[in-house]
Amino acid sequence: AFIAKKLMNMYSRCGNTPKAMEIFTCLHPKDTFAWNIILACHCRNNSLDEAYELFQQIPAPDLISWTTLLSAYAHCGHPDAAKSVFDRMPLRNEVSWNTMLAAYANNDRLEDAKRVFDSMPGRNLVSWNTLLDGYAQNGHISCMTALFHGMPQHDLISWTCTLSSLAQTGRMEEAVLVYESMPERDMITFNALLDGYAKYGHLVQAKSLFDSLPETNLISMTVILVGFAQSGRMRQAKEIFDRM
């Protein structure tokens, strides 16, 4: 049963709902843990309606079942449906509050997000990052900057959200300042800055950043390739292409 649940989760993450369902069907007894795995599987890979149907069949849904459903509505761009799930939850914790916050923040409902943020019983770094990214994604750069400076702590995600937002909107001077202040970086950080350079025509800077990277991946290659190709530097584009 141990292994069965592990397997279900693996299939779920690979998007193979039929295989996950096959195991679930054979599984006895089906505890809430197992139900939650198959629910999360449908939330990730199938329609909301199917997920909701499944949720209704869970004999004893727990906090995780409720939060999984909430998260599905949040990710599918239905903040109001998410709110109604949230209101019907028999209990809530930090994660469910953060999920509700994300439902608003990721769907450009920043006033509502801020209201949730201010009224939640506790705020952790995920809460701060969620609101920060809401501002970042929706182009509220000054709110983002203010929040960034008001946060109690920053982690790699806080820094990268901010960098990415500046780079996406072509504020390359500020993006570089953030980049240079970062205590740590990863591939997402590199690629976010690289993409800003490439997108806004700074191909020389893009190439020199690219050459200095400790490692590259398929995304870095694609970013620089597209940058060269779209600016008509076909010889350099071909050079990258041949290396892929």
CB of 95 to RNA, least distance (A): 4
* d(C-alpha 228, C-alpha 244), whole Å: 15
148, 132 Cβ separation under 8 angstroms? yes
Considering the complex, state which of residue 53 and residue 241 has its C-beta at the smaller distance from RNA: 241
Considering the complex, state which of residue 23 and residue 161 has its C-beta at the smaller distance from RNA: 161
For residue 215, which of 198, 241, 194 has the smallest C-alpha distance? 194
Residue 137 carries which DSSP code? H
CB of 239 to RNA, least distance (A): 17
Residue 45 carries which DSSP code? H
* d(C-alpha 121, C-alpha 220), whole Å: 41
Considering the complex, state which of residue 22 and residue 62 has its C-beta at the smaller distance from RNA: 62
Q: How many separate helices (H) and strands (E) can be counted in the chain?
A: 16, 0
Task: List residues near RNA by CB under 7 A.
Answer: 2, 5-6, 9-10, 31-33, 36-37, 40, 63-65, 67-68, 70-71, 75, 93-96, 98-99, 102, 106, 125-126, 129-130, 133, 136-137, 156-157, 160-161, 164-165, 168, 186-189, 191-192, 195, 218-219, 222-223, 226
* d(C-alpha 132, C-alpha 147), whole Å: 7
Considering the complex, state which of residue 204 and residue 218 has its C-beta at the smaller distance from RNA: 218
Considering the complex, state which of residue 94 and residue 174 has its C-beta at the smaller distance from RNA: 94
CB of 182 to RNA, least distance (A): 10
* d(C-alpha 244, C-alpha 238), whole Å: 10
CB of 184 to RNA, least distance (A): 9
27, 11 Cβ separation under 8 angstroms? no
CB of 210 to RNA, least distance (A): 13
